[in-house]
A = this chain, B = another copy of it.
């Protein structure tokens, strides 16, 4: 169903050109590089454009120019406050510089991530924002083969050859554990997120463990539990830890949601936080300062992190010089959920 009556064109750049009495080249120039066209022409063209309600056709533009002004992002899930925030921030930034964002989710599955990347590349994205540096081997090859710029966000690994922006999770976790150690705790449990395919979770566990080791503290195997990112699972883990005859006086958590679960369950089981049990989180979500007791945690500036990731790619694409590894500072926020251990258990 192609209309070959080439006489008049209903829409598109040709219609605009016809109405303004100029060539399509001029219209294109007026749109993409207004300075390259004389003011009089530009005015005529602009008038024609909004007389016709002309909307440029991005796919055609991409096809012809080989640039899409679109970035792709693959996150494990959007149903996680930290990612939702990061994406919101990234999206807002990109939109402010005239870029768009294709968002997809992988569900922590490396194969799916690879598939999504293929999908995004096929869509013509100019660059890719990835979560962490835990990827399918095929993904690296894919990115290299297609010369797609990318950045790993949420981690800081200055020694790797890939660009990244994020906080040093290992160091931050170390700081968290150090905090409860400084308070006098020696019986410390860990409730972490699932480490599989999640370098952020692993780095945090590594940081916790290093702090313990450095202080000559042993970690009984049953004091380290891994749980999915839900309040229910965290509560179950807490119930288990607190039911041990030999139980910790402090629990360091892989993220705030886990900490909330531990807090809630401890209270429910009749333990008073921080008197009977100290709890420390990681991320500093909104709830942390509203809870009662409020949660001591590690503050991570997610919004900034993701925005910087966007900046990195946009600048790189513009040919500017950019910093390959950018560290985002974390900070320990001490609130009410941590205190020295009870004397009897010191």
Question: Residues on A close to B: CB < 8 A?
Answer: 53, 55-60, 62-63, 68, 77-79, 81, 84-85, 87-88, 91-92, 95, 100-105, 118-119, 121-124, 145-146, 230-231, 235, 260-261, 264, 267-268, 286-287, 290, 292
- Are B84 and A122 touching (Cβ within 8 A)? no
**A105 to B92, Cβ gap below 8 A?**
yes
Contact A146 B63 (CB under 8 A): no
Given contacts A78-B78, A95-B104, contact A59 B68 (CB under 8 A): yes
Question: How close is A238's CB to chain B, nearest CB, in angstroms?
Answer: 12
Q: How far is the CA of A144 from the CA of B29 in the complex (A)?
A: 29
For the complex formed, measure the closest distance between the CB of A173 and the CB atoms of chain B, giving whole angstroms. 25
Q: In the bound complex, do residue B100 and residue A119 qualify as a contact, i.e. CB atoms below 8 Å apart?
A: yes
Residue of B whose beta carbon sits closest to that of A286: B231
Other than A55-B146, A56-B122, A100-B123, give 11 A-B pairs with Cβ distance below 8 A.
A58-B124, A63-B63, A78-B87, A79-B84, A100-B102, A101-B103, A103-B103, A261-B290, A264-B290, A267-B292, A268-B292
Q: How far is the CA of A267 from the CA of B291 in the complex (A)?
A: 11
| With A63-B60, A292-B267: A85-B92 Cβ-Cβ less than 8 Å | no
* Least distance between A95 CB and chain B CB atoms (Å): 7
A sample of 16 cross-chain residue pairs with beta-carbon separation below 8 angstroms, ordered by A number, consists of A55-B121, A55-B122, A55-B146, A57-B122, A57-B124, A59-B60, A59-B124, A79-B88, A88-B105, A91-B103, A95-B104, A100-B104, A100-B123, A231-B286, A260-B290, A264-B290
Question: What 5 A-B pairs have minimum CB-CB distances, sorted nearest first?
Answer: A59-B59, A59-B62, A84-B84, A78-B88, A58-B123
From residue A6, how far is it (CB to closest CB) to chain B in Å?
18
Q: Tell me how far the C-beta of A120 lies from the nearest C-beta in chain B, rounded to whole angstroms.
A: 9
Is A123 a contact partner of B88 (Cβ separation < 8 A)?
A: no
- Least CB distance from A96 to B in Å reads 11
Residues of B within 8 A of A103 (CB): 91, 101, 103
A104-B91 contact, Cβ under 8 Å, with A60-B63, A84-B78, A146-B55: yes
Chain B residues with Cβ below 8 Å from A56 are: 122
Query: How far is it, in angstroms, between the C-alpha of A58 and the C-alpha of B63 when the chains are bound?
Result: 9
Tell me which residues across on chain B come within 8 A of A101, comparing CB atoms.
103
Q: Is the CB of B53 within 8 A of A57?
A: no
- Determine how close the nearest CB of chain B comes to the CB of A60; give it in whole angstroms: 5
Q: Which residues of B contact A118 (CB under 8 A)?
A: 55
Bound CA span A100–B117, Å: 12
**A122 CA to B11 CA in the complex, in Å?**
13
Cβ–Cβ contact A123 & B264, under 8 A: no
Q: How far is the CA of A261 from the CA of B286 in the complex (A)?
A: 12
How close is A83's CB to chain B, nearest CB, in angstroms?
A: 9
- Minimum CB–CB distance from A25 to chain B (whole Å) comes to 16
- Provide the bound-state CA to CA distance between A146 and B287, in Å: 44
Least distance between A216 CB and chain B CB atoms (Å): 37
Contact (A264, B292) CB under 8 Å given A63-B59, A91-B78, A103-B101: yes
Give the interface centre of A81, A91, A100, A287 by most chain B CB atoms within 10 Å: A100
Enumerate chain B residues within 8 angstroms of A92, measured Cβ to Cβ.
105
- List of B residues within 8 angstroms of A84 by Cβ: 78-79, 84
- Distance in angstroms from A209 CB to nearest chain B CB is 29
